[in-house]
Amino acid sequence: MPLRMSTLFVRTLRDDPADAELPSHRLLVRAGYIRRAAPGIYSWLPLGYRVLRNIERVVRTEMDAIGAQEVHFPALLPREPYEASNRWTEYGDGIFRLKDRKDGDYLLGPTHEEMFTLLVKDLYSSYKDLPLSIYQIQTKYRDEARPRAGLLRGREFVMKDSYSFDVTDEAFLVSYQAHRDAYVRIFDRLGLRYVIVAAMSGAMGGSASEEFLAIADNGEDTYVRSPGGYAANVEAVRTPVPDPVPYDDAPAAHAEHTPDTPTIATLVDHLNEAFPRTDRPWRSADTLKNVLVVLRHPDGTTEPVAIGLPGDRDVDLKRLSAQVEPAEVEPFTDDDFTRHPDLAKGYIGPGVLGEKNTSGIRYLLDPRVVDGTRWVTGADVTGSHVIDLVAGRDFSGDGTIEAAEIRAGDPAPDGSGPLELARGIEMGHIFQLGRRFAEALSLQVLDENGRLVTVTMGSYGVGVSRAVAAIVENSHDEAGIIWPREVAPADVHLVVTGKDPVKDPEIFAESERITAELEACGVSVLLDDRVKVSPGVKFTDAELIGVPTIVVVGRGLTDGVVEVKDRRSGDRIQVSVANVVTHLVEVVGAAQQGDP
Ligand code: ATP
Ligand code: MG
C-alpha cells in the first residue's frame, strides 16, 4: 500500500522550531518525522517510524548474519543487579530511578550488561554452551545532563545492544572481531561517513574499546588522526611522555616579585621584561599553571583536585571528565577558595598542593611534567612566582592525568606523525569488558578440565534512534533531508500536480496507475495526491521530506512523459509514461545492489 499524503498523519512546517539549532533536529521536526514530548523525549510520526524501523532492519540483518540471537529485556529493572555491579551508585544522577507500591527500588535501564549476564548465568553452566552472542533493540533511558539536538542526545532513545560470552580471551577476540565487522557493514549500509577510533571505556570499565564516529562538524565528540593511521577519540589520546631531564646543574629555585600577573599572558610579559632569558624569550610553555576543580563522586561526596599543566595549554573538560568518570567535574568556586585560605588565587603553586602539603588537595600533573623539567609557577603568595622550580627535585604530584587539550600538530602517541582534529557523532561503541560483570555477578562455567572459570564478555552498542539524526546531519541541503535509499521512508515520492480529479482526471488516474504498478513491483511510493494543493507546495514538501527519487506527473502527460528527479544530484530527466515503471524499478534495484 502506498503512503498517501492526503491522509498521512503528518504536518510539514514552513518555519524552524524555536528550540532547534542543528539541521537534523530542525529538518526532522519540520518534515514531520518526530515531535517533542518533553526535553530529550520524542514521539515518532509515521514517516519517522518507518525510517527508524528501516535502520533497525539493517542492524538486525547484520547482527543475525554473525549468529547473534535477538532477545528482548524489560526496560523496567530491579535495583539488585545494578547494586552488585556498583552501577546503581556509579550512575549517580544519570539514570531514572523509581519506586513500586511496596517501596522497592527500580530503574529504567540505561544499558543492560547486568541483566544479560544474569540471564546467561541462569541458563548456562558449561564451556560447551559458549560462545554466545545475544542482542536486543530496546528503548533506553538516561537522565542526560544536557539532552541535545533532538534525537542526537535523548533521555529516551533506541539502542541496539549486544553482549558476547566466551570462555577464553582468544575466543573473545573472535566474537569481538565479528561484531566489529558487522558494525562496518551496518554503517556502510546506513550511508554514513564514519571513522573507527580508540575510545575510553567510561562507566563500562573493561580494558579497551573502539567507537564508530559519524564524521560531522556538529558532533559532540572530537577525534584525532595521524598520517600513519592512528585514530582515537580525543578523550583516549595518551600524551607521549618525554624522557626525564638531568637537573644536577639546574640553579636553585628562587621566588620573585611579579606584581599584577594573575594570568599566563601577563606573567610571560613580566618575565621577559624583568627577568629576560639569555637564550630566548620566555614562553607560556615555560610556566606551570595549576587549575583547581571539584570532583563530585557518585556517593555525593566532593573532593577538590589541582591539575598542573604547561601554561600554553588549557584543561579540556571532556578529557578530564573521561578520566575521572564516574565522578563529575564541577568548578572550584569562591566559597571553595574561602575554605582553603592557603590558596593565593592566580598565584597557586605546588608549594601548597599535594597530599603532603598544607591544603591536602590532590595534585595531578600533566604527563609532560617529568623529572628535571624546569618551571615558573605560583609561589602561593599574591604577586609572586617561583622561577627554576624543578620537577622531581622541588616538587612532585600525587599522580598524572590526561586532562590537557590536544592540539592539531601534536605528535601521535605511536610516533605515526602529527595529529589532525575533527568532530564526530558517536554511533557505535564496542567494549572489551573482560570479566568485570561476570565477576561481579559470578558468571562462571565449567571448562574442559572441569574447572570453574569466569566468563569473558564484550558489549556492543549502536545508537539506532541517534542514527536517524546522524544520517540527516550527513545528508541534507537547504531544501531538506536527502535519505540514503536503504533507510528512506519510501523509494519514490510521486507528486500529482493536478488540482483535483475532476479538473485533471488524466493526471490523477495516471498517477494512481503508476503508483499501483510500482507497488506491485515492490517499489514503495509516497503519493502526494492532495487535492487543491498547489504544485509548488507539493514540490517544497517533497524536497523537505527527502525521498531519494521524486516523480512529477503533470502537463507532460500530453507528450506522454513524466519527470524523474534525483533528490541528491538535482538531475531531472523526462521518461516516457510507458517506460517509467521499468525505469524506476531499475533505479531502486540498482541502489539496492549497493549503488548509493
Ligand atoms: P555518549 O558519549 O554520546 O554519551 P555513551 O558513550 O554514553 O554515549 P554508550 O553507553 O557507549 O554511549 O551507548 C552505546 C550507543 O548508544 C552510543 O554509541 C550512542 O550511539 C547511543 N547513545 C548513547 N547515549 C545516547 C543518547 N543519550 N541518545 C541517543 N543515543 C545515545
Ligand atoms: Mg560510548
Per-residue HEC secondary structure of 73-90 comes to: CCCEEEHHHHHHCCHHHH
Distance CA 176, CA 173 (A): 5
Which residue CA neighbors atom 25 of ligand 1 most closely? Answer: 153
Please tell me if the CB atom of residue 466 comes closer than 6 angstroms to any atom of ligand 1. yes
Please tell me if the CB atom of residue 132 comes closer than 6 angstroms to any atom of ligand 1. no
| pLDDT confidence of residue 592 | 59
Cell numbers 569562591 label which residue? 334
The set of cell numbers assigned to 152 is 542526537
Q: Which of 44, 27, 67 is closest to 158 using CA atoms?
A: 44
Q: Rounded to whole angstroms, what are the CA distances from 356 to 361, 373, 401? A: 9, 21, 18
CA of 233 to the centre of ligand 2 (A): 10
Distance CA 256, CA 191 (A): 61
Residue 249's contacts (CB-CB under 8 Å, 6 or more residues apart) are none
Please tell me if the CB atom of residue 154 comes closer than 6 angstroms to any atom of ligand 1. yes
Residue 584's contacts (CB-CB under 8 Å, 6 or more residues apart) are 491, 492, 518, 523, 549, 551, 564
User: What is the secondary structure of 152-209 as a DSSP string?
Assistant: TB-SEEEEEEEEEEESSHHHHHHHHHHHHHHHHHHHHHTT--EEEEEE--GGG-SSEE
Nearest ligand, CA of residue 469? Answer: 1
Q: Cα 438 from chain centroid?
A: 26
**Residue 434, by phi and psi: left (phi above 0), alpha (psi -120 to 50) or beta?**
left
Q: Which of 224, 237, 231, 229 is closest to 408 using CA atoms?
A: 224
Which residue CA neighbors atom 19 of ligand 1 most closely? Answer: 463
What percent helix, strand, coil does the chain show, rounded to 5? Answer: 30, 30, 40
| pLDDT confidence of residue 357 | 77
CA of 208 to the centre of ligand 2 (A): 12
Per-chain residues with Cβ under 5 A from ion ligand 2: 429
φ/ψ of 133, rounded to 5, equals -125, 125
| pLDDT confidence of residue 595 | 45
CA of 463 to the centre of ligand 1 (A): 6
Please tell me if the CB atom of residue 111 comes closer than 6 angstroms to any atom of ligand 1. yes
The atom number, within ligand 1, closest to the CA of 428 reads 18
Tell me whether strands 69-70 and 132-141 are parallel, antiparallel or unpaired: parallel
CB-count burial class (<10 Å; 0-12, 13-18, 19+) for 200 = buried
Q: Which contiguous run of DSSP H or E holds residue 49? A: helix 46-65
Distance CA 382, CA 61 (A): 65
Distance CA 375, CA 290 (A): 12
* Ligand 1 site-directed mutation target among 44, 159, 200, 210, most atoms within 8 Å of CB: 159
Please tell me if the CB atom of residue 426 comes closer than 6 angstroms to any atom of ligand 1. yes
CA of 107 to the centre of ligand 2 (A): 20
| pLDDT confidence of residue 596 | 45
Please tell me if the CB atom of residue 150 comes closer than 6 angstroms to any atom of ligand 1. no
Please tell me if the CB atom of residue 157 comes closer than 6 angstroms to any atom of ligand 1. yes
E strand map for 358-488: 362-365, 374-381, 384-390, 420-434, 444-446, 452-454, 456-463, 476-477, 480-481
Residue 379's contacts (CB-CB under 8 Å, 6 or more residues apart) are 255, 256, 347, 349, 351, 385, 386
Distance CA 364, CA 373 (A): 16
Q: What domains can you pick out in the chain, each with its CATH number? A: 19-193+434-474 (3.30.930.10), 254-400 (3.90.960.10), 490-592 (3.40.50.800)
The atom number, within ligand 1, closest to the CA of 155 reads 27
- Compute the chain's Rg from CA coordinates: 30
CA of 99 to the centre of ligand 2 (A): 28
Instruction: Give me the residues of the chain with pLDDT under 70, please.
Output: 202-207, 355, 590-596
| pLDDT confidence of residue 379 | 93
Is the dihedral angle over the CA atoms 152, 153, 156, 161 positive or is it negative?
positive
Peptide bond preceding 281: is omega within 30 degrees of 0, i.e. cis? no
H helices of 459-534, in order, are: 464-474, 505-520
The one-character DSSP state at 222 is E
| pLDDT confidence of residue 360 | 82
Peptide bond preceding 131: is omega within 30 degrees of 0, i.e. cis? yes
CA of 426 to the centre of ligand 2 (A): 7
Average pLDDT, the chain: 93
